[in-house]
């Protein structure tokens, strides 16, 4: 049996009804007769248990993975008001989905990644082909703090087959870092990382959609602690960035949050720009008294070389990048595309006058598309799995 995929969505405010409606739509749209695995996402305004109950009213027996999302993307719908839900159902004799979960993420991200990796390794999965990993972005405490992807994936990766295609994202209920949840089969949990190993007769191609280019020379981080960058090139970090951006007559320091992006080049330092070689770091907040930048991840340590990045998203950018990926799959049978998109790229927050997910919908074409808006995105950059900010990660699954 050729792999079937059904995708459904709903924006009903009743959580049970939304889960049920999206699941029924997925069954109908994909002409699904047997449900083997489902990816399920619900907006931050929903009751996740009631949402799961609604899904289980339609597909009670298959494995499931998912959780709270900032918004939903399908091939016909985009929404991020908080009541959107998305359900994607797979049915296949050739491909299998294996679900794992590990808790206590907020206590120690590195240990959680190590334990999750041990679970995957101990399962002894035959013919592993790709991995998706989702995790809780917020520690759910006051003041709000993030769970960092850098130690989580650094600990997970040694347990994986070398070079395994992998993508992931951090779940986000809203921009206020409110509590979010993860779904592991028929459980609703929190402070977990959830992994889906895909095995069988398939391949996954993943591409990074930054839409950012370097606009400065290399700068060296000279003082940092955790996610806070205090100094660049021996000067206060805020002063250096402010000067590069033209000073107070051009931009207010208060506008740095969710806008200032620093790029780390994992490729040839002086070679031609390659988007796939860059891991970007977005500014979460500004510590004005200390003239410091608070980043989404803690990996900008002293000695790290970075460049200030300029956003240059244009609609035709997506078509050119995605056409190249589809070309590499031309001799295969792509049956599903999956887009993990930074919540900051939604049009109200992105600073551009179009919806980037709409351009992805157009470029993907008739390949079924599902996705969600995330807090942090993860993909392979060079040899290693890297957290990414203000990024879209697009995956294609294809039968061999």
Q: Among 256, 284, 311, which residue terminates a domain?
A: 311
Cα dihedral sign, 283-224-278-384: negative
Predicted pLDDT of residue 1: 65
Residue 107 sits in the same domain as residue 217: no
Residue 61 sits in the same domain as residue 192: yes
Q: Say if CB 147 and CB 170 are below 8 A apart.
A: yes
The whole-angstrom separation of Cα 106 and Cα 197 is: 23
Cα angle 38, 341, 127; round to 5: 45
Residue 131 sits in the same domain as residue 26: yes
The whole-angstrom separation of Cα 222 and Cα 283 is: 17
Radius of gyration of the chain (CA): 20
pTM for the model? 0.93
Q: Which residues contact 139 (CB under 8 A, 6 or more apart)?
A: 106, 145, 146, 147, 191
Residue 54 sits in the same domain as residue 176: yes
Residue 83 sits in the same domain as residue 177: yes
Predicted pLDDT of residue 318: 81
Residue 247 sits in the same domain as residue 304: yes
Using DSSP's 3-state secondary structure scheme, residue 301 falls into coil
Q: Say if CB 37 and CB 194 are below 8 A apart.
A: no
Predicted pLDDT of residue 320: 77
Residue 203 sits in the same domain as residue 221: no
Residue 160 sits in the same domain as residue 64: yes
The domain of 242 spans 212-311
The CATH number linked to 275 is 2.40.30
Q: Among 311, 333, 366, which residue terminates a domain?
A: 311
Cα angle 41, 42, 48; round to 5: 110
Query: Could you give the C-alpha distances from 220 to 183, 238, 302, 317, 369, in angstroms and in order?
Result: 41, 14, 8, 30, 40
Predicted pLDDT of residue 79: 96
Q: Among 268, 283, 311, which residue terminates a domain?
A: 311
Using DSSP's 3-state secondary structure scheme, residue 312 falls into coil
Alpha helix (H) ranges present in the chain? 15-30, 48-56, 109-122, 149-156, 237-244, 315-328, 347-350, 356-364
Residue 198 sits in the same domain as residue 160: yes
User: What CA dihedral angle connects 383, 170, 133 and 79, to 10 degrees?
Assistant: -120
pLDDT in tens, the chain (400 residues): 689 999 999 999 999 999 999 999 999 999 999 999 999 999 999 999 999 999 999 999 999 999 999 999 999 999 999 999 999 999 999 999 999 999 999 999 999 999 999 999 999 999 999 999 999 999 988 888 899 999 999 999 999 999 999 999 999 999 888 999 999 999 999 999 999 999 999 999 999 998 889 999 999 999 999 999 999 999 999 999 999 999 988 999 999 998 899 999 999 999 999 888 999 999 999 999 999 999 999 999 999 999 999 987 777 778 878 888 888 888 888 999 999 999 988 888 777 788 889 989 998 999 999 999 999 999 999 888 999 998 999 999 999 8
Residue 19 sits in the same domain as residue 108: yes
- Paired strand residues for 101: 194
Give the number of other Cβ atoms within 10 Å of residue 210's Cβ: 24
**Number of domains the chain is built from:** 2
Q: DSSP secondary structure string, 346-392?
A: SHHHHSSSS-HHHHHHHHHTTS-EEEEEESSEEEEETTEEEEESS-E
Residue 263 sits in the same domain as residue 373: no
Residue 262 sits in the same domain as residue 382: no
């Amino acid at each position: 049996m050729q792999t079937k995929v059904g995708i459904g969505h709903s924006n009903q405010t009743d959580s049970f009804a939304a889960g049920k409606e999206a699941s029924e739509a997925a069954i109908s749209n994909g002409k699904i007769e047997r449900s083997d695995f489902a990816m399920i996402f619900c907006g931050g305004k929903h009751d996740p248990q009631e949402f799961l109950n609604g899904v289980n009213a339609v597909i009670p027996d298959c494995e499931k993975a998912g959780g709270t999302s900032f918004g939903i993307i399908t091939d016909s719908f985009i929404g991020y008001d908080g009541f959107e839900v998305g359900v994607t159902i797979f049915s296949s004799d050739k491909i299998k989905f294996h679900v794992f979960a590990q808790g206590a993420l907020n206590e120690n991200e590195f240990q959680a990644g190590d334990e999750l990796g041990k679970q995957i390794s101990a399962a002894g999965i035959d013919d592993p082909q790709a991995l998706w990993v989702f995790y809780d972005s917020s520690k759910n405490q006051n003041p709000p703090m993030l769970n960092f992807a850098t130690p989580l994936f650094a600990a997970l990766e040694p347990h994986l087959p070398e070079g395994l295609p992998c993508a992931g994202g951090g779940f986000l209920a809203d921009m206020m870092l409110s509590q979010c949840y993860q779904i592991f089969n028929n459980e609703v949990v929190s402070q977990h990382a959830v992994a889906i190993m895909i095995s069988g007769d398939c391949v996954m191609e993943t591409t990074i959609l930054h839409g950012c280019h370097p606009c400065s020379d290399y700068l060296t981080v000279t003082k940092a602690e955790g996610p806070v960058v205090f100094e660049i090139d021996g000067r206060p970090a805020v002063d250096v960035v402010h000067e590069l951006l033209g000073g107070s007559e051009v931009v207010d320091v208060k506008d740095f949050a969710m806008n200032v992006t620093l790029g780390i080049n994992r490729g040839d330092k002086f070679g031609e720009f390659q988007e796939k070689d860059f891991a970007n770091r977005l500014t979460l907040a500004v510590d004005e008294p200390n003239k410091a930048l608070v980043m989404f991840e803690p990996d900008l340590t002293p000695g790290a070389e970075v460049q200030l990045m300029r956003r240059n998203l244009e609609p035709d950018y997506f078509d050119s990048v995605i056409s190249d990926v589809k070309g590499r799959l031309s001799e295969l049978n792509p049956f599903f595309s999956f887009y993990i998109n930074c919540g900051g790229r939604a049009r109200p927050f992105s600073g551009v006058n179009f919806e980037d997910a709409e351009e992805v919908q157009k470029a993907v074409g008739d390949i079924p598309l599902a996705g969600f808006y995330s807090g942090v995105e993860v993909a392979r950059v060079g040899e290693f799995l890297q957290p990414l900010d203000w990024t879209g990660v697009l995956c294609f699954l294809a039968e061999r």
